[in-house]
Chain A
Amino acid sequence: MATLAVTASAPLDTRQRGERARRMLLWAYAGLFYCFLYLPILLLVVLSFNDSQTIGLPFQGVTLRWYEEVLGSPEMLRSILNSVVLGVVSAAVATLLALLLALGFRQEFPLKGLLMKIILLPILIPGIVGGVIYLVFFGFGEVQFGVWTTALPVHITWVLPFAFLTLFPRIHGLDRSLEEAAADLGARPLTVFRRVVFPIIKPGVVATAMFAFTLSFDEFIRTLFVIGNQRTVPVHLWTLLSDQMAPFLPAVGVVITVISMLVSFVGFAASARAGRAH
């Protein structure tokens, strides 16, 4: 509307009419865009209730049996558990490492530019290669593949740059005079952090941890290569997709999506509340 809609120096009414036309065009475009975004997902939801042995139309009546099949499967429940545990632990560790990195980055030190590039490395490595390097790395080191041995370090490494990039601007923008005042008043460095710095950045830390959780929860390609015969939720879906086009696949997709969205919502609410508290 007003910010960017550009007005010409023509007489006022034509100017306004032009602006309104542009606005309507923009809204129409947004409508199309959201259709593109949501139509496939809505179709997936509809098909997950479709009482048909093949995935697709026509719709042949409502059934809940695909959901019963999916939620009754111990493999599915085990993958959900694996994904949640991986997400929580890797979010906690990555956020802590990122916080330390971001705090250190406020100072000058040798090789800082190089370290910045190394932090970005896990993002810059193309996805498929990101999977392959860990297969090679852990395979060569003869580490047993599994959730704790290989998938966890891979998730932490994958999430770390994102956590750093989310935290760094908030910590970098912190007013140093507050800390200096506290230090001048005799507070020791750890006390300054605990009583001054941390309360200010806490909402950012919480938001970062939640973001990290969803990144880990949705991670697929790097996990696929190192998870061995265990499964996370996306890996489970992939295995089902590669094995057979089973009629319950849309239900699996909906269940995964609902879990991801719920977690993100909780994270959103938590970070908003943490933001209000200060």
Chain B
Amino acid sequence: MNPRPTDPDRRTLIAAGLTAAALAGLPAFTASAAPRRPLDVPQPTEDSRHLLWWQAPADDHSMIEQGLPVGNGRLGALAGNDPGRELLLITDATLWTGGLNDELDDDGQFPYGRADFGSFTLLARLTVDLPDHDLSAVHGYRRTLDLSQALLTTTYVRAGVTYRRQIFASRPDDVIVLHFTQSGGGRYTGSVTLGGTHGETGGGAESFGASFPGGLRYGAAVTAHGTGGRVRVNGARIDFSGCGDLTVVVSGGTNYAPDARAEYRDPSLDPEKLARTKVRAAAAHPAATLLRTHVADYRALYGRLDLSLGTSTPGQRALDTWERLTARARDRTPDPELEAAYLQFGRYLMISGSRGSLPLNLQGLWLDGNDPDWMGDYHTDINLQMNYWMADRTGLSPCFDALTDYCLAQLPSWTALTRSLFNDPRNRYRNSTGKNAGWTVAISTNPHGGMGWWWHPAGNAWLAGTLWEHYEFTGSRTHLEKIYPLLKGACEFWEARLLPMTLPGSERQVLVADSDWSPEHGPLDARGITYAQELVWELFGHYRTAAGELGKDAAYADTVAGLRERLYLPQVSPKTGWLEEWMSPDNLGESTHRHLSPLVGLFPGDRIRPDGSTPRETVDGATALLTARGMDSFGWANAWRALCWARLKHAENAYELVTTNLRPSTGGGNGTAFNLFDIYEVEQGRGIFQIDANFGTPAAMTEMLLYSRPGHIELLPALPAAWAASGHVTGLPARGGFVVDLRWREGAPTSVRVRSVGGRTTTVAYGGTSRTVDLRPGRSVTLKGFTR
């Protein structure tokens, strides 16, 4: 939809908001500098903690469960790996339909359609057809995903010739490379076809370009070259014949720009032309060089964390990944290397999907069709936050930046839309105070500065909390300075929104959140929902700390601190024994609902701690509510439950939830697909991919191994029996600016090394033992002798 002209008042407001912000990040698709070309030849791994493998290719119609993902942080693809037809479904994180979407519907809510709000959608479809390589005519088929190199390899034998196909997505060269080789005197004959998926017309075999009604331009390009034989353009495809090897290079992108002032477009950018330039530049180098360049770049991130949860049996190692998942679920036998690989797969997805462009959405970076459920959007009431809980926890702080950049690039628009539309009389959640300040979001947000489904007042606080946690892990003052305006704007919103209330039966005056919906069940209009109270309480605390550290806005920080003192915090219901979700002793929603909104103070928040610092009644109420929520839900909901149980140091519950997510998904049921994507059963028999559990589950695994908050680290807080025998993790970040290397045996730490990456002082505790560590940045200390 084209943005419609808006009335002068609103235009003025939006303009005011826009000029307040600086350009938040680099354009997503842009000319890249010549990459560094390392000389060391990458070594493939045989370690089943880093290697996934399968004995069958994907079905063209089941790519979301069976296609293997590659990505360079912006440009992604699902690859099918069929010998006779390689299929790549290619995505760019910024390829979205829709636009600003700044007109409310009659119910005071934003429209939520693919034309107005927009949808994440496919960029291109690439096929490499090899007509003589029917799967039925080859044997010894195998494909691997080497997580340590971000490399897909398919091998098979046909008529005595071993054929090998490698696929990788390079960030330094900004292309996806398909390299076909063979040994034994074989030849490749077939065709390459690149096309759009939106009815694009024109373009030749080597590129295409088009634009959406919302104004976003996009394009893609491909080139192919071989050794021996010949390669030539033939109409809409590239034919090759008699080639001893073949290299296909593809790239593409959009003219999206993370800049509200430019209405999120770079009018000077021709994506088709840029894609052609990129594939030509890359194709000038041998595929082996491109691979080396890619692996070196990737390993700089992947190599930051190493994890062993124990040793798997030779029998387990002999199984392919899908058989292994099936056997693990059927036999209920721990498979520590598979479980470690699942965490590393999450890290692989993070590195592949979140670098220098938009953040990971509901689908991450991967699609099998143009119209993903819920638009593949940014859901701010758990899913987007969960996507990033593991980034810092698994040594991938640079991948977090995409979320920061997104929020900052959207902030001017979110501010403008909040100021112009939130107090619209049709909006049931408008501020009763009549005041309006700062910014907030809807549950669904898009990359065009727009919002979609359902106003979400507390969404601002949760996004702020997530960005704050990144600061706690990294201690980056630059980050803190960047997010400070966002924190402050959120505080201003709540300053305008909070309502004073006298608690029934007491004289006590408290502040409560205005009418709101605790996601995504129970009454639509309830004041003082626990979700909002907890998030705003955290927000105000973070803001006060931020203002102090940056030496800014001292007076306002005092104001915010004063508001925080008066905030109502939830009670435990005398009826249910649960921490209340609404300001009511009654259960007004679904007991086993997927969301844990009222437990946001347990995780990701830190208010509720089982260490004696929180009233016992509150911890018990939170535990009772978590128990009532049950142990079997959707993937992300299980992951959140696991994180909460880890915080409560209940190792076995946390582990059970992790392994519940590892159960194989069949018939669309919840669980892990063939390709390890997490499947969300939308309705009986229809499962979709939703990436949050692929990140939330690894986050839970790290929280089972290490709990931290600034100034305090706890080792192995929730180590399950399955991992207890022996294990190690190196490069595990802790809040407060430390990184921990840890070995354990028989459930107890045997060696602990703490390194400062900016932190100064922290306690390090295990069981009954606690040490205080003082370190200068860059220095480390080894600790021994921890006993329970």
| B is a partner of A | no
